[in-house]
Structure 1
Amino acid sequence: MHSFDVFHHYERKHWRLADVPWHEVRKDLVRPEYVTMAKSAVMGEANSIAAQHGFLNEFDDYDFSAFVAIWGYEELQHHFAFRTWLNAVGAEVKPAAVEAMREPYDPGSTPCATLATNIISELTVNHIYRAVAAWVEEPVLRGIMSSASIDEAGHAREFLHFARKRLEAHPEELPSVLETLHVYTGEQRIKHPVGVFKSELVALKDHETIDTAFEMFLEQVATTGELEKLQDNIRRAFASLTGMDVSSNARVRRRLAEALAA
């Protein structure tokens, strides 16, 4: 069972909030942009509860469900780590905004599309956390960003494993995978499921969201070609998943048309 191996791997490399040197927080190095980034991260990570709800309803695979329980714990840890840092620097997150994140997602067009969406979300957040970790000067937030980035890379790897397994058993779901890739990489902006499905919630009005972080990232953190680098990384993952050349939007559209016609 794959989740059995994942559990043992996570236990060996897992970091704990109790090990974070909270006493070393440097308030003198905190900038308003760091607080915005942390609040946005809290809102993105708060969706792990809704996502677990959706996964467990949509999938009847015990192995994947066990992985979801492991994944959900780590995502909740990220949420609490960013909130703890915000508390340490005297900033707060509105409880009503977090509560609004509990609303479960609708299932994807196919189970494989759901897995594909999460591959994209994990790779996106991994990339951004890593870049932000190199950008911030406050050491404790930098450490949290770095640790969370490593976790997200592992999550992407496991979602790829389960998506590959699902696609092998259900090749008819290939068009939905290609469609998902096109939806999230077909525009010159960063798209994430939390922003796509929950940006219009009333409780989020006048509050930082995950899209706030993405906009700030592109404006203040990203280097030239950063968005293209992220999207290329996502397309490489999907090339590995599908065995197809999906290295550009045009190629993704072509592969999708071919898959629909097959």
Structure 2
Amino acid sequence: MKSQTTSPAGVPLLEDDQMHSARVFAGYQHATWELHHIPWDAFRADLVLPEHIVFAKGAIVGESNVVAATHGLLNEFAMDYDFSQFACIWGYQEIQHHLAFQIWLQLAGHSIAFGTTASMREAYPPGVTRAATLATNVICEVLATHAYRSVARSMHEPVLAAILKKASGDEARHAREFVHYTAQQLAERPEERASVLETLYIYMGTTRDMYRHPVSRFKGNLPELENHETIDEMFAYFAKVDVSGSEWAKCCEQLFKYFSTLTGYKLTKMSDVRRAIATEESGTEKASV
């Protein structure tokens, strides 16, 4: 009899090569956390700084985008059950981030009006290609991973630090799965490779956009967010605590590694990305990783 593969928690895994999301689900159940795992009773009001409030509000606005993003992914990948199932799992975890930050903000004596978070509900239009949509999410998750990790290291208020550490781990796992699905999409449609390279360049290709998140490009100018903290303020605080720029450098390094693996080009700096895009446009043979 064939031995049954199990998850780290000892749960038998569904053996279906077309259901990668089932393995993700099992793995996430072992690695994930719930709101009751946060040490809420350890909250220290005396350690909350004004900039922490601004950061939390920006994080809440950014994370509240999850409903629109999940809606968009389910629409764009309506033909793909496996990825759609992953999108639901991902969305659930992102909602938890949003609610955890909301609860912390409430403990700190502040709040965000419902209309502000509700303004993020409008769904995104489909991407240029499905691979480009997935690649955008890779970037989003990697940026969030490093932002949360960096701020957590600098955070003295224990509850917010705990939330950030938990959320950072989630975002890193999400990034890996979006890489998996991007690779799967490119295997089926290699002609979408150029759009993946272009996505990396659009969001990461200019120095003026350091410490900036793709959500800001799409929804930073919503009328409901005028004079309100947004994800830009969250990343501005990331830039403030990342004094040496070392975490940003790690973030970029991770993205170059992921996109090198996805596209087959050796990418270590943005000039490599520009050359790769030019190669794709010219139709000449690419240099392999």
Task: Give the TM-score normalised by the residue count of structure 1.
Answer: 0.97
Q: Which residue of structure 1 lines up, in the alignment, with residue 227 of structure 2? A: 206
Instruction: Give the distance between the partners of 2:181 and 2:29, measured in 1 at CA.
Output: 20
Larger CA deviation: 21-30 vs 137-146: 21-30
1:158-214 deviation line (CA, Å, top 9, x unaligned):
000000000010000011000001111111213322101001100001111001111
Instruction: Give the distance between the partners of 2:212 and 2:134, measured in 1 at CA.
Output: 16
Q: Among 51, 54, 61, which residue is 1:33 paired with?
A: 51
Identity among equivalent pairs (%) = 46
Instruction: Give the distance between the partners of 1:122 and 1:74, measured in 2 at CA.
Output: 12
CA deviation after TM superposition for structure 1 residue 226, in Å? 4.0
Instruction: Give the distance between the partners of 2:49 and 2:121, measured in 1 at CA.
Output: 30
* Aligned amino acid, residue 66 of structure 2: S
Q: Which residue of structure 1 lines up, in the alignment, with residue 92 of structure 2? A: 73
Instruction: Give the distance between the partners of 2:255 and 2:115, measured in 1 at CA.
Output: 33
Instruction: Give the distance between the partners of 1:216 and 1:193, measured in 2 at CA.
Output: 16
Counterpart mapping for 1:181-260 below 5 A: 181-188=200-207, 189-260=210-281
Q: Does the aligned pair in 2 maintain the 1:195–1:211 contact within 8 Å?
A: yes
* Aligned amino acid, residue 146 of structure 2: H
Task: Give the TM-score normalised by the residue count of structure 2.
Answer: 0.88
CA deviation after TM superposition for structure 1 residue 227, in Å? 3.0
Q: Among 27, 46, 59, which residue is 2:64 paired with?
A: 46
Q: Does the aligned pair in 2 maintain the 1:135–1:221 contact within 8 Å?
A: no
CA change 1:203–1:6 in 2 (3 A) is same
User: Higher helix proportion, which one?
Assistant: 1
Q: Secondary structure at the match of 1:101?
A: helix
Instruction: Give the distance between the partners of 1:202 and 1:46, measured in 2 at CA.
Output: 16
Q: Which residue of structure 1 lines up, in the alignment, with residue 160 of structure 2? A: 141
Instruction: Give the distance between the partners of 2:95 and 2:243, measured in 1 at CA.
Output: 26
Q: Which residue of structure 1 lines up, in the alignment, with residue 16 of structure 2? A: none
Q: Between Structure 1 and Structure 2, how many residues are aligned?
A: 262
CA deviation after TM superposition for structure 1 residue 234, in Å? 1.0
Aligned CA-pair RMSD: 1.1
CA change 1:193–1:55 in 2 (3 A) is same
Q: Could you say which structure has the greater relative contact order, defined with CA pairs below 8 angstroms and 6 or more residues apart? A: 1
Unaligned runs of 5+ in 1: none
* Aligned amino acid, residue 231 of structure 1: C
Bigger radius of gyration: 2
Unaligned runs of 5+ in 2: 1-18, 284-289
Instruction: Give the distance between the partners of 2:33 and 2:188, measured in 1 at CA.
Output: 35
1:210-229 deviation line (CA, Å, top 9, x unaligned):
01111222134442344333
